[in-house]
Amino acid sequence: MSRDSIRAKLGHDTIKVDSEKHIKVKQEICATCKEKYCLYVCPAQVYKLNNQGQIELDLDACLECGTCRIACVKKAIDWNYPRGSFGIQLKFG
C-alpha cells in the first residue's frame, strides 16, 4: 500500500500533533540495528530512513498503536501516549 493511499484513509480521522513528541528514537542505538523493523511494522508508515541512514518520524500520521515499540528489538524507541487532548481522534470510533 502506498504512503499516499494510507494518508487518504487516515484523512477521515483527526490528528492533533503535540509539539512535545510522544515518540523519541535513540539514534545511537538505531545506528547499530541491521533489521530496522520500525520501517516495516508501522501501519501508518511513520518511520523512514533519511539520506544519512538515520530514522526520521512523521508523527502527523501516528495511530498510537505502539507496534513500533514492541517490534524494536534494540529498545531504541521511547514511546508514550500523547498528552491529553493531543493525538488521534477516530472519526468512526
Confidence of residue 91 (pLDDT cuts 50, 70, 90): confident
**CA–CA separation, 44 and 6 (whole Å):** 7
CA 24 to chain centre: 9
Confidence of residue 67 (pLDDT cuts 50, 70, 90): very high
- What confidence score (pLDDT) does residue 3 get? 59
Neighbouring residues of 66: CB distance < 8 A, sequence distance ≥ 6: 79
Task: Give the range of the structural domain holding residue 83, as residue numbers without chain letter.
Answer: 3-89
Confidence of residue 18 (pLDDT cuts 50, 70, 90): confident
**CA–CA separation, 86 and 20 (whole Å):** 10
Instruction: Name residue, grid cell 530496522.
Output: 36
The CATH number linked to 19 is: 3.30.70.20
| Cβ contact 31:49 at 8 Å | no
Strand partners, 89: 14
Give me the number of domains the chain comprises. Answer: 1
34-51 pLDDT per residue, tens = 999 999 999 989 999 999
> What's the pTM value of the predicted model, to 2 decimals?
0.76
Contacts of 89-92 with CB under 8 Å at 24 or more apart are: 89/13, 89/14, 89/15, 89/16, 90/13, 91/12, 91/13, 91/14, 92/12
